[in-house]
Structure 1
Amino acid sequence: MPPFHPKMLLKVILYAYTQKIYSSRKIEQMIQENLPAMWLAGMQTPDHRTINDFRGFRMPTMMESIFEQFVIQLVEQGFIDFEHIFVDGTKIEANANKYTFVWRKSIENYDEKLRMKIKALLQEIHQVTKDELEEEKLEEELIKSTAQLGEEIQELEEQYEVEIDSEKRKELRSKKSELSKQKKAIESDYLPRLRKYEVQREILGERNSYSKTDHDATFMRMKDDHMKNGQLKAGYNVQIATQNQFIVGYGLYQRPGDTRCFQPFMEKLMASLPTVSKQVVADAGYASEENYLFAIGEEKEPRFELLAPYNTYLKEQTRKYKKDISKVKNWTYLEEDDIFICPNNRKVAFKRYSKRKNSIGYLQDFKIYECEDCSDCPMKSLCTKAKGNRQVHWNPTYEEMKAKAKTALNDKQKAAIYAKRKVDVEIVFGNIKGNLSFNRFLLRGLEKVQTEFGIVAMPHNLLKLAGFRLANFRNKEKERIGKPKTFSFIRSFLGLFGQAPFSMPNF
């Protein structure tokens, strides 16, 4: 049988995903029974193995290129212009057993206990102290000890063969049995476990967990938890950029939080998009000091404007926050003297600089201020719980970024753009998870899963494009052929694959 053309297989898979058909066996069945699919396949009937092989091993080399070409088509047809894009993330469950987890803390605890046992054994064998054993050379020492124990066991066997006295033979046998147990423990337990923990640490990398059935999947908290108890499930963090409800870029990451995914995603996006957006709109999960600085750029030449509210932006608008005397933002600041004036009219003067890392390891600079005297202040219980004087830890860089973000969000035009975020990017996730029922990946491994989500993103865009065309030409279609069918637009667009400007890689 001659090989199937990749253009035909691509059309069939994309159409199948628009119809919520993801299994390779069901796609095979669809090609044999569904008239539109038969038309797209040209009456060819690839089996499920061919479809799965093409999707899992061939498409990773072409998916990003095809997706970029499709985005360029949307730009040329005027559906998107990249004036601003909306960024958000969601977690999608991996094709992994939720009980096959490996945790970093467990590995570290087991490894520590194992090393203590190994050191105790080596002390007994070599008659050395703990200080003489090097932590990095424990495996090497175990291998040497195994060889040494083997030689000693061989010597004891030779002595046992020539010994006549029954008591001495019994003593030699007992000593040989003890050494054999030590040798067996090293070969069948200590060395394999030591190597096993090392391999597990390499798989983990910077993560805290992974699944045994999909090593690239990380355990994360899912909103759509079927147990409704907040349990962790293996999954991937999917980041997308949208405009006009079209997906213009996507990326999959192993980090649960959106904050740390923003910079690598934007770097990938800026490298793939034909032009850099002037504004990137995101929610408060992306509004960190490092992300604000990344948007500004190192040379103070803005890459883009990050329109994202910081985590206390909404609280600061409330009457309760504005009346809270413990909030430093409600105090008076004298810039020329670099001091705060507390609600009791006492000076809170600058004391020293401080550096500390936040929860994700980013180094931040702080200025520490301290009140001159809080001992007899009647407002102290409302201001602080500290026993001594009230201290203020002020991050000038982050506060400056927050002030700029607040000014931007208070602008009517930019506030209107930010208000579109929920009806742009959130609807995309709703369509993928709700309408298309794509809640779990079928493939395993980061590269294959990245490809699979690209296959999901393309059908979403195709359906959106078909919807726009239906809306624009509804009257003409009704006059000509009656009620229009969505498939007619999808079929006509998929029929263009293989024609200019689309190109496929050579196989």
Structure 2
Amino acid sequence: MPRFIPLNYQQNSMVVINYLDQLQAGTFEYAIHHLIDEKLDLSVFYPKYKNDNNGRPAYDPAALLKIILFAYCKGITSSREIQWCCETNVIFKALSCDSVPHFTTIAGFVSGRRSEIESVFEQVQLICHEQGLLGNELFAIDGCKMSSNAAKEWSGTFNELQEKRDKLKRQIRYHMNEHETLDKTEGADEARKQRAAQAIDTLNKAHDKIEQFLKKSEPRMGKGKRPKEVKSNITDNESGKMTTSKGTIQGYNGIATVDKKHQVIVDATVFGEGQEHHTLQPVLTGIQNRFKRLAISEDILKSQTIITADTGFANEKNMQFLHDNDINGYIPDNQFRSRDPKFKEQKTKYGKRHQDNKTRKKTVFQSSEFSFDPVTKHCVCPSGETISFRGIRENDQGIKTAYFEGKLLQCRNCNKKHQCMHNPSAADHRKGAGRQVSFRLDSKREPTYTDWMKHRVDSPKGKQIYSHRMSVVEPVFGNIGTNKKLNRFSLRGKDKVQGQCQWHLYCLIHNLEKLNNYGQLAA
């Protein structure tokens, strides 16, 4: 019979552990420990503590922040589970220096530190900038819709909620009559009486909940020129009903703005509305103010940083905002793919690809490669030169067309004339005009700012720029949602969802990982 080492589970043992040795350089826990102790200023947390002269010592916010960030990195959001990890897990013990905060302390720290967490987020962003992780070349904006800690069954307009309240009244009266009948009936089943009483109690609580909400709250109005009432939610009225690819949810839309260079998040905001187009202006304004406050850029939007967003952010008001503020934005409308020949059938895409090269006409810059502003009647050629506007007139098909013409002197000395003109050598000898180009206009209406954006997005340069959007922002949502397991918001109220345990903290963890992977942390 084989022999084994005997096991005695009743024996006692003393294990000597150096907590700092458990935090190995290169790991995420080490990055958290090093940054919080050596780089970040946590004095913003101090004003809320009032135990300078009396009261028991409080847990150090540095230790609380370390264990919360590490727990969220592992997909642990329960305060009770974080407390249990501090009791049993050696990494949590090392980060907290063997302190075990009560779960109520952890929950209170998470749910009441919006401005402090935002300050830490900005400090980490500034460190990313100092270590060269921000390129400030292209920002991609997108939203991630997630369920909140509220049931959509408690949503409705005020009329719908009043109808639901009246329906509950009728159900209460029915069960009360049934209960009275059972009381008068001799030998009635006691279990049936209890069920009727329990139903009355449940319905009364639901009725009172709706009644109190209707008395204390006002109808929730949407946004727009003619705002209409939208559905309110009794549990969390700052959340909204949103349509997603997985159905309708009650939740929040987390908007993230991501820098292209290393996919660092430069802005994180949540909104309780499913529509994204009204979020663009506050997001861009927030980015501009933050970069100015951190002394990264005096005006990041005027520095020609490219802004990309998907079709959910497109409307005429946003296009006018980009145009009037000279923001280098590329936001397509929902028909931009139908105008792109790459998304047509393969035959349409490639055309006569076997045609003999000798029979092909020389390819020159098409009008789509010229930057055209239909609002101001301004046109810029691929070389960056402004060409002259020659008026609007109908073409042979009766369609209003804007005509532009380059100056001969400009075209003659342009280094791209062989790509722009069919016969550039003739321009060296003849008198007259340079390259001519025209753009069709909608004859039924005046040009809009959306038309201006269509020309930008449909141009070869616009297609090339917009193709980067998905590869910049979608991996960020994949990391937060899949790796970090954020699939719903567990707190209620926009302030708590944004500033604390959910959106800002997860975006902060994402940026800390970027610093750990690409930054210059001390070994």
Q: Which residue of 1 aligns with 2:61?
A: 6
* Partner in structure 2 of residue 215 of structure 1: 237
Q: What is the match of residue 317 of structure 2?
A: 290
The equivalent of 2:149 in structure 1 is 95
Change (3 A) 1:205 1:421: closer
- How do residues 396-407 of structure 1 correspond to structure 2 at under 5 angstroms? 396-398=447-449, 400-406=451-457
Mapping 1:152-163, distance limit 5 Å? none
Corresponding residue for residue 463 of structure 1 = 513
Partner in structure 2 of residue 434 of structure 1: 482
> Residue 272 of structure 1 aligns with which residue?
290
The residue correspondences of 1:307-326 to structure 2 (distance < 5 A) are 307-318=330-341
Task: State the 1:63 CA deviation.
Answer: 1.4
Cα distance in 1 for partners of 2:332, 2:491 equals 36
Q: 1:63 aligns with which of 100, 117, 122?
A: 117
CA contact (8 A) 1:286 1:308 kept: yes
Kept in 2: contact 1:93–1:440 (CA 8 A): yes
Kindly state the Cα deviation for residue 441 of structure 1 after the two structures are TM-superposed: 1.0
Instruction: Judge conservation of contact 2:330–2:456 (CA < 8 Å) in 1.
Output: yes
Please report how far the alpha carbon of residue 456 of structure 1 lies from its aligned counterpart in structure 2 after TM superposition: 0.8
Corresponding position: 1:30 with 2:88: no
User: Residue type of the partner of 1:29?
Assistant: W
| Letter of the 1:309 counterpart | P
The DSSP-based 3-state class of the residue aligned with 1:444 is: coil
Q: How far apart in 2 are the matches of 1:40 and 1:261?
A: 38
Aligned residue pairs total 326
1:256 maps to 274
Q: Name the TM-score, length of structure 1 as normaliser.
A: 0.58
The answer to whether residue 504 in structure 2 is matched with residue 454 in structure 1 is yes
Equivalent in the alignment of 2:250: 234
5+ long unaligned stretches in structure 1 = 112-191, 324-328, 350-390, 473-488, 494-507
Q: Which runs of structure 2 are paired with 1:419-430 in the superposition (5 Å)?
A: 419-430=467-478
Residue type matched to 1:316 in 2? R
List per-residue Cα deviations over 1:444-501 (Å, max 9, x = no partner). Answer: 10000001211111111222332336xx9xxxxxxxxxxxxxxxx7xx79xxxxxxxx
Equivalent-residue separation in structure 1 for 2:450 and 2:57 (angstroms): 65
Query: SS of the counterpart of 2:63?
Result: helix
Contact (CA 8 Å) 1:87, 1:282: kept in 2 or not? yes
> For the residues of structure 1 that align with 2:314 and 2:234, how far apart are their CA atoms?
34
Assess, with a 3 A threshold, how the Cα gap between structure 1 residues 340 and 428 changes in structure 2: closer, same or farther.
same
What are the Cα deviations for residues 128-163 of structure 1, in whole angstroms up to 9, with x where unaligned?
A: xxxxxxxxxxxxxxxxxxxxxxxxxxxxxxxxxxxx
CA distance in 2, matches of 1:428, 1:76: 21
Distance change in 2, residues 1:85/1:399 (3 Å): closer
Which residue matches 1:359? none
Task: State the alpha-carbon separation in 1 of the partners of residues 486 and 336 from structure 2.
Answer: 34
Q: Distance in 1 between matches of 2:162 and 2:447?
A: 38
Identity score, percent:
26
1:289 CA drift (Å): 2.0
Q: CA contact under 8 A between 1:220 and 1:234: conserved in structure 2?
A: yes
Please say if residues 92 and 441 of structure 1, whose CA atoms lie closer than 8 Å, have aligned partners that are also in contact. Answer: yes
Q: 1:54 aligns with which of 109, 133, 138?
A: 109
What is the match of residue 443 of structure 1? 491
Paired with 2:210 and 2:111, the residues of 1 have a C-alpha distance of 33
Please report the TM-score for the alignment, with normalisation by the length of structure 2. Answer: 0.56
| CA 1:399–1:52: 2 relative to 1, 3 Å | closer
Asked whether the 8 Å contact 1:238–1:253 carries over to 2, the reply is: yes
Alpha-carbon offset, residue 104 of structure 1: 5.2
Greater share of residues in helix: 1
For 1:86, the aligned partner's letter is A
One-letter amino acid matched to 1:245: Q
8 Å contact kept, 1:255–1:261: no
Mapping for residues 355-370 of structure 1, pairs under 5 Å: none
Q: What residue number does 1:40 align with?
A: 95
Superposition CA RMSD, Å = 3.5
Give the whole-Å Cα distance in 1 for the aligned partners of 2:335 and 2:65. Answer: 46
Deviations 1:57-91 (A, max 9, x none): 1x112111111111010010011131221111110
Distance 1:312 1:29, change over 3 A: same
Deviations 1:17-55 (A, max 9, x none): 111111111111111112121111111111100000011
Instruction: Provide the rounded CA distance (Å) in 2 between the counterparts of 1:456 and 1:71.
Output: 14
Q: CA distance change for structure 1 residues 220 and 347 in 2, over 3 Å: closer, same or farther?
A: closer
* Partner Cα distance (2:498, 2:457) in 1: 35
1:281 counterpart residue number: 308
Task: Tell me by how many angstroms 1:443 deviates.
Answer: 1.0
2-structure distance, mates of 1:399, 1:421? 19
Contact preservation (8 Å) 2:146, 2:489: yes
